[in-house]
Structure 1
């Protein structure tokens, strides 16, 4: 399981230009069953994604396709998490 942090760069002013394409990229991640959650980093710092069912290499490739990443609107950081204790409602996340 991974957390992807998408933190705004100096080009954050270009976010509006690429927002539709970024939203389409996010939707593909949900449609493919890779993204579980996406939301904002507050206050207005960027975004975060919870991802699973993907290798680190596959996720890095997917993140590199994000228009926000390609156009340097955000800098991406991927953090890998190996769940060891999980609430029963999230048992599907256990490796």
Structure 2
């Protein structure tokens, strides 16, 4: 399992225009990750600081390649950080993440 942090490279409003320009493509990239069953959760970091994605079911190489294709990463709007988590305990509702 991975947690991907997408940290804004320049605090808003500094990169606001670039983010707005790339938002539709970034949202399409997110939708593809969900459609592929790879992304489990995505959301914004508060206050406006970037985003986070919970990823499951792929290798580190696969998630690195996917993240590097994010239009926000390509456009320099965010800097990615990929954290690998080895689940040891979870609520029963999240047992699939420990598999």
Q: How many residues align?
A: 95
C-alpha deviation, 1:12, in angstroms:
2.2
Structure 1 residues without counterparts, runs of 5 or longer: none
TM-score relative to the length of structure 1: 0.97
Structure 2 residues without counterparts, runs of 5 or longer: none
Q: Is the 8 A contact 1:5 1:78 kept in 2?
A: yes
Over residues 10-53 of structure 1, what are the superposed CA-to-partner deviations in whole Å (9 max), with x where a residue is unaligned?
A: 36231000000000000000000000000000011000000000
Cα RMSD for the two superposed structures = 0.9
2:3 is the counterpart of 1:3: yes
Alpha-carbon separation, structure 2, partners of 1:42 and 1:56: 26
Counterpart in 1 of 2:63? 59
1:72 is matched with which residue: 70, 73, 76?
Answer: 76
Counterpart in 2 of 1:19? 23
Moved over 3 A (4+): none
Q: Is the 8 A contact 1:3 1:49 kept in 2?
A: yes
TM-score relative to the length of structure 2: 0.93
